[in-house]
Chains A and B, each alone.
Chain A
């Protein structure tokens, strides 16, 4: 017994070392799953608060480009409004006195605008933190887009902040298709370059061309159909392969990401319930 105690005292540092390493390792392994504890991540209020403060300084220098983007988007939206108004006026019935019911088209998607307060692009697993959370109506699994294209999917939500898994993370797998011929595949990231990702599952009989546009497929409720993802930069196929290896230049520049929109699919719950029922 005395020997045992002596032994324990003598090697207490080693035990402490092993104990701390086991704790760290458990944290890493647990962290591999999506359910990260919101408390110990950058969605935490204190940490996010600090990032928001630091971001408010950095953002000042980005105002110019942000303004340019906003005004560009503004113009294109205005153009759309004018086009739609023209179309509407041609469709209106000529007799204005008749009782006429028009059922408004169903509003399927709404956008919640948010600001990126922390974003990494150089890790093998990148994450983004947004300054909006459950209070603003953000829920897990909502899609995130910017004016340029698809950004990622919300994976953690706290009261005021939320964490996004961007395309630049091996865990993300976004379903996309070609604008030209509707063949669809999954978009994955190899961990090398923040400008490129890979498109998989495109069979060899599909006709491709460099520069083809890739958009979201709309199969998942996270994104509406037709949000730009990127363009084909390069593709390869060996004689023995059944699928193309396609390198996609991403539409979004993650280095300069600042303002994003979170996609709120209004019938999300209904769709999910239905899918659950049909699986049974």
Chain B
């Protein structure tokens, strides 16, 4: 069961990187990258959806406990986990019976970039709107969503392009 171990390891690593490094990045006050959703992005395509949701909830609540935002990350992460298979179907045509892990090689470069961009945007938009809980500072909110998503997307694509196979 090397993949299971690998995923557990990447879960722990991503949570640590998120809470110890990325949560402390305070560039201009607008950039708040949330790299941890990479964990949800790289799970195998045909993984049972209920299991995916449970994993997303666990991941979100773990991040929440560390960053004092109880429920927000859990909400946003479960949200993207639910729409993940729909988004994958929208951008790729994977044959029945195949169970690839999403990456540049299995999806093709352009489909993979689209998939990452859409997932990250949905997640960040949900998260920042929940955090603000109002639209009074709508421009700050939009700037935060856009800039943070951009940084997260670049980080994710960077990490994925380094990975071999």
Interface residues of A (CB under 8 A from B): 12-13, 16-17, 20-21, 23-32, 36, 40-42, 44, 47, 54, 120-125, 127, 163, 190-194, 255
Contacts and interface: CB of A to CB of B under 8 A. Distances in A.
Nearest to A36: B70
B33 to A, nearest CB: 11
Contact of B137 (A16, A31, A42, A192): A192
Contacts of B72: 24, 28
A163 B69 CA distance: 13
Contacts of B75: 21, 24-25, 28
Given A13-B53, A54-B20, A28 B68 contact: no
Interface in B98-139: 130-133, 137
8 contacts: A13-B50, A13-B53, A16-B53, A23-B74, A28-B75, A42-B66, A120-B68, A122-B29
Interface string B58-95: 00110011111111101100110010000000000000
B36 interface: no
- The 8 lowest CB-CB distance pairs between A and B, nearest first, are A27-B71, A24-B75, A28-B71, A24-B74, A31-B70, A24-B71, A13-B49, A122-B26
Interface of B: 20, 23, 26, 29, 32, 49-50, 53-54, 56-57, 60-61, 64-72, 74-75, 78-79, 82, 130-133, 137, 140
Contact of A20 (B32, B53, B69, B70): B53
A44 B71 contact: no
A125 B23 CA distance: 14
A127 B69 CA distance: 10
Contact of B57 (A20, A36, A127): A20
A25 B71 contact: yes
A191 B78 CA distance: 27
B79 A21 contact: yes
Contacts of B50: 12-13, 16
B143 to A, nearest CB: 11
Contacts of B23: 120
Contact of B68 (A13, A25, A127): A127
B70 A41 contact: yes
Contacts of B66: 42, 47
